[in-house]
Amino acid sequence: MSDTESYGFDTLQIHAGAAPDPATGARNTPIYQSTAFVFRDAEHAAALFNLQEVGFIYSRLTNPTVAVLQERIATLEGGVGAVCCSSGHAAQIMALFPLMRPGKNVVASTRLYGGTVTQFSQTIKRFGWSAKFVDFDDLDAVKAAIDDDTQAIFGEAIANPGGYIMDVRAVADVADAAGIPLIIDNTSATPYLCRPIEHGATLVVHSTTKYLTGNGTVTGGCVVDSGKFDWGASGKFPSLSEPEPAYHGLKFAETFGPLAFTFHGIAIGLRDLGMTMNPQAAHYTLMGVETLSLRMDRHVENAEKIANWLEKDARVDFVTYAGLKSSPYFDRVKTVCPKGAGALFTFAVKGGYEACVKLVDSLEIFSHVANLGDTRSLIIHSASTTHRQLTAEQQEAAGAAPNVVRVSIGIEDADDLIRDLDQALSKAVS
């Protein structure tokens, strides 16, 4: 599509990046289930391997089905390019890989998905990287955590599990003043509810497994490049600004300009880390994205109704949904997520840990799974599952205390979901 800025979101989520197949006329993007692609001749092959021409070589690097998805997500996020990969966790490493070196650190929000906290607090140490966890509502603390070795700031637009809304613009201003990129995980919000690049984010990551696919069938991840960061300004990012030995001294920032990060992600990141998205997964996600706005509207509508019901229930201590007027993040929703606060939140059950366990075991419509963003309503007791590797203090900071369950509200009939919660709470609290 040409001039994508003139089209609305509903049109772009169906058409961006796609065209009828030139060989067959197929209207849907085919699954190009091919490992490799034939070169026109030796000169063509050399140009592709030298990054002098864009095309398809080998599906670890580039694949036509995946390429359509990359362009579609980049368009919906308002970025210049994107790199899809095998999972949301892979996307996080892909985002950090060009930025980090041994001895360097990232400043991260305390309100992150438990798996991300583990990845940042434990796994990245094996690369010689480290993370500093800070409450992003305390901007002075964010500023104080930044030192000469800080390479990026990382947060979630809508935090998992609590559904807290991050003030992306305020943290972006801190990142800009420090001359470092801001990376935003936009999984829980999707570009329909929030476009972090418009609020100053440099990079946006997704677990496409969640709302973008929307049907719980495949895993995937994506890194979207805003194209707005000057990677050569400070000398802090030599992978992007200095000569790359594997490409005869090519400088990504100099050669590719706004697309430097995207090309590096493919030519170095996917080449060497191999976190490839398979074409079938891309196909499922493309089908999911086509209905993203329709689903998100229903997700939000249901979440608002159910959160309001839960807040009034005597068996519930509190509800963290930012769409509630009682939430400290209610006013922030209007600027960060003007179409709604999403469908992910937690609530505390009177009776603590044991009551939470009884609740999840008593539900009939809600599925007890370690996932979110499905058309189906999902529930999990984070303290005993996704966040169990964390300390009690980390669980509390992440909004995953022992008396709390996380819900991902689906698109079923909201009254049916309320009845299901009602009967399960009766069993749990009795």
Distance of CA 188 to the CA centre of its chain: 7
Q: How far apart are the C-alpha atoms of 150 and 96, rounded to whole Å?
A: 12
Task: List the alpha helices (DSSP H) in 50-86.
Answer: 64-77
Handedness of CA 312, 313, 319, 323 (dihedral sign): negative
User: CA angle 44-94-218, nearest 5°?
Assistant: 90
Contacts of 346 (CB under 8 A, 6+ apart): 161, 162, 163, 319, 320, 382, 399, 400, 404, 405, 406, 407
Three-class SS state of 378: strand
Three-class SS state of 418: helix
Torsion of CA 10, 90, 118, 186, to 10 degrees: -20
* Cβ count within 10 A of residue 374: 22
| Crossing angle (nearest 10°) for helices 352-362 and 414-429 | 130
Residue 161 · residue 409 · CB < 8 Å: no
Annotate 337-355 with b (16+ C-beta within 10 A) or e (fewer).
bebbbbbbbbbbbebeeeb
Residue 46 · residue 39 · CB < 8 Å: no
Three-class SS state of 43: helix
Bond into 258 cis (ω within 30): no
- Tokens 């689906």 map to which residue? 410
Architecture of domain 9-288: 3-Layer(aba) Sandwich (3.40)
Per-residue pLDDT at 1: 63
Note down pLDDT in tens along the chain; length 430 residues. 666 778 999 999 999 999 998 889 999 999 999 999 999 999 999 999 999 999 999 999 999 999 999 999 999 999 999 999 999 999 999 999 999 999 999 999 999 988 899 999 999 999 999 999 999 999 999 999 999 999 999 999 999 988 999 999 999 999 999 999 999 999 999 999 999 999 999 999 999 999 999 999 999 999 999 999 999 999 999 999 999 999 999 999 999 999 999 999 999 999 999 999 999 999 999 999 999 999 999 999 999 999 999 999 999 999 999 999 999 999 999 999 999 999 999 999 999 999 999 999 999 999 999 999 999 999 999 888 877 777 878 777 777 788 999 999 999 999 999 999 999 999 999 8
Percentages helix, strand, coil for the chain, rounded to the nearest 5?
A: 45, 15, 45
Per-residue pLDDT at 22: 87
Q: Distances from the Cα of 109 to the Cαs of 134, 194, 319, 391, 397, in angstroms? A: 5, 18, 21, 16, 10
Q: How far apart are the C-alpha atoms of 128 and 136, rounded to whole Å?
A: 24
Domain boundaries, the chain: 9-288, 292-429
Per-residue pLDDT at 2: 63
Residue 179 · residue 189 · CB < 8 Å: no
Q: What are the phi and psi torsion angles at 425 (to 5°)?
A: -65, -40
What is the DSSP secondary-structure string of 282-339? HHHHHHHHTTHHHHHHHHHHHHHHHHHHHHH-TTEEEE--TTSTTSTTHHHHHHH-TT
How buried is residue 376: exposed, middle or buried, by Cβ count under 10 Å (0-12/13-18/19+)? middle
Q: How far apart are the C-alpha atoms of 384 and 375, rounded to whole Å?
A: 24
Which is the CATH superfamily of the domain at 292-429?
Answer: Aspartate Aminotransferase, domain 1 (3.90.1150.10)
Annotate 96-109 with b (16+ C-beta within 10 A) or e (fewer).
bbbbbeeebbbbbb
Q: How far apart are the C-alpha atoms of 73 and 210, rounded to whole Å?
A: 14
Q: Are strands 378-380 and 367-368 parallel, antiparallel or unpaired?
A: parallel
Distance of CA 332 to the CA centre of its chain: 20
Per-residue pLDDT at 387: 72
Q: What is the pTM of this model?
A: 0.95
Residue 208 · residue 76 · CB < 8 Å: no
